[in-house]
Amino acid sequence: MKNSIKQNLFRSLIRLSQSPISRIYRIFPWVITWHISSMCNLRCVYCTVPREDTHPDFKRALRKIIKLKPKLLVISGGEPLLVPNLEAIVQKIKREVDPYIIVNTNATLPRRVVPLLPYVDEFAISIDGLGEVNKRARGIDGDKIIECIQSTLDEIKAQGLETSITALCLVTNDNYTLIPSLVHRLHELSPHIRTNLLPMQPYTHPLSIASNPANYSEFVKIVTNLSNQGFRIRVTGPFCEKGAMKEVACYRQYFRGAVDKDGVFIPCKPYAYAAYFLHELGRAISERNPLMFMQILKQMIDSLILHRYDPVCPFPCNCDDYVDSILLCESVELLWREPRNLLSRLNLGEMKETYDFIAKHINPKFNPDLLNSNKLKGKESFTFIALPPIFCAQAPTVKNKMSIKKKDSNNEYK
């Protein structure tokens, strides 16, 4: 109850302040995650999606998305396949905006996947393991999800489509040793399926792989081994070989955001940051710790007012982390499928505007060819398998960020 009051208050604040503040903070809404509904037919043990009984305002949310014109749209939830008119919604977005569309689903409703296939570019299917492993965490036998993936692949082939499938495997202390069996099974279904490994958040939770250094180190070996064998896997989130990072330099924050089920757009800065700082200030008050209060207040003023393009994020997440690979990357060949599809949708004006922003605020050494290269057109190639680093460069430490800022710029926009 208390949480829902807080949530409503926060949403109202966002609505009130959205337009004037957007003018102060430059935001390029390239990547939008639409939390289309909080309804779900599963009760996964780790899920933090709030269960709300209010009806989503689909029309308002749809209008917002069309206005924002994302290059890449992730439709998530709750469970998006429970939305009765999803096909019409996706069709309209495809027609009016044509972003690269990813539907993030629990794959428990295979018949609802089929009508979406012509309009969706990628299905991101959650599966934590085979058989009982998935059942323990997600309440449904993993083999049923494998069946859904198989039937979707068959349908894609039958319809002559190019829809991609990515498996999302949430990594916990319970399932990490069984990741190889899942990856091998997925590879048998199709060598084109990629597996994204998501260590459970919060990283301090006893179930999260990141909370146990011995298990985490074992996990790193498993992932390295699979990657060396050429399997298409990546770990998403603020991780290095040693574990989770508490603070990262996040470059993608001005290029992404979420739209909630009522159509409220929530970019990281200032909204997610403000929510974090307000929460921390509340914690300092409840712990009666004036020193902590002053430190957080200082951090808040510094981050939100004095240095609004400072990329340090004290609450790192795994959302859309591939966008950082554009902002820091020097080679088109190293880009994954999502950034390639995203960049190929930028028009000339957007490229120029984006390049100026990146060179000024993020990376003076940014390679503008990344924005306008013809090589970006088309699908990720099959030879791309083991190229990207498994622990991506997209969440560098604060120290790395400083070294990037110091480099001189000699790029010219072509």
Q: Which is nearer to ligand SAM, 152 or 201 (CB)?
A: 201
388 binds ligand SF4 (CB under 6 A): no
Give the rounded distance of the alpha carbon of 197 from its chain centre.
Answer: 12
Nearest to 21 by CA among 31, 11, 13: 13
Q: How many CB atoms lie within 10 A of CB 225?
A: 11
What mask of x and - would describe binding to ligand SF4 in positions 281 to 320, judged by CB under 6 A? --------------------------------x-xxx-x-
Say which residues have a Cβ less than 8 Å from residue 73's Cβ, sequence separation at least 6.
Answer: 31, 32, 33, 34, 65, 93, 97, 99, 100, 101, 102
> Which of 198, 278, 281, 284 forms a contact with ligand SAM (CB under 6 A)?
198
HSE value, Cβ hemisphere, 13 Å, CA-based, for 212: 15
Q: Write the CA distances from 137 to 81, 103, 132, 183, 220, integer angstroms.
A: 20, 21, 9, 18, 21
> Which of 27, 29, 79, 341 forms a contact with ligand SAM (CB under 6 A)?
79
398 binds ligand SF4 (CB under 6 A): no
HSE value, Cβ hemisphere, 13 Å, CA-based, for 118: 8
Q: Cα–Cα distance between 226 and 202 in angstroms, integer?
A: 25
78 binds ligand SF4 (CB under 6 A): yes
Q: Cα–Cα distance between 116 and 84 in angstroms, integer?
A: 12
43 binds ligand SF4 (CB under 6 A): yes
> Which of 13, 44, 359, 385 forms a contact with ligand SF4 (CB under 6 A)?
44
Residue 200, contacted partner among ligand SF4, ligand SAM, none, CB below 5-8 A by kind: ligand SAM
Say which residues have a Cβ less than 8 Å from residue 318's Cβ, sequence separation at least 6.
Answer: 198, 199, 201, 236, 237, 238
106 binds ligand SAM (CB under 6 A): yes
The span of 43-51, 66-74, 109-117, 187-195 binding ligand SF4 (CB under 6 A) equals 43-51
The span of 109-117, 245-253, 327-335, 340-348 binding ligand SF4 (CB under 6 A) equals 245-253
Site size toward ligand SF4, by CB under 6 A: 22
> Which of 21, 49, 153, 359 forms a contact with ligand SF4 (CB under 6 A)?
49
Q: Which residue is nearest to ligand SAM (CB)?
A: 126
The span of 58-66, 74-82, 151-159, 321-329 binding ligand SAM (CB under 6 A) equals 74-82
Pairing of strands 243-244, 239-240: antiparallel
Smallest separation (angstroms) from ligand SAM to the CB of 356: 34
Q: What angle do CA 365, 236, 318 make, to 5 degrees?
A: 85
152 binds ligand SF4 (CB under 6 A): no
Rg of the chain on CA atoms, in Å: 21
Residue 268, contacted partner among ligand SF4, ligand SAM, none, CB below 5-8 A by kind: ligand SF4
Token code pair at residue 116: 């979406």
Q: Which is nearer to ligand SAM, 120 or 362 (CB)?
A: 120
Residue 267, contacted partner among ligand SAM, ligand SF4, none, CB below 5-8 A by kind: none
> Which of 232, 252, 261, 337 forms a contact with ligand SF4 (CB under 6 A)?
252
| Cβ atoms of 261 and 37 closer than 8 Å | yes
Smallest separation (angstroms) from ligand SF4 to the CB of 337: 19
> Which of 77, 129, 142, 199 forms a contact with ligand SF4 (CB under 6 A)?
77
Smallest separation (angstroms) from ligand SF4 to the CB of 387: 24
Token code pair at residue 156: 């894609």
Say which residues have a Cβ less than 8 Å from residue 66's Cβ, sequence separation at least 6.
Answer: 92, 93, 96, 97
Q: How many CB atoms lie within 10 A of CB 90?
A: 21
126 binds ligand SAM (CB under 6 A): yes
105 binds ligand SAM (CB under 6 A): yes
Smallest separation (angstroms) from ligand SAM to the CB of 111: 17
Site for ligand SAM in 22-51 (CB under 6 A): 40, 46-49
Task: By CB under 6 A, name the binding residues for ligand SAM.
Answer: 40, 46-49, 76-77, 79, 104-106, 126, 168, 170, 198, 200-201
> Which residues of this chain interact with ligand SF4, rule CB under 6 A?
40, 42-44, 47, 49, 77-79, 106, 138, 248, 250, 252-253, 268, 272, 313, 315-317, 319
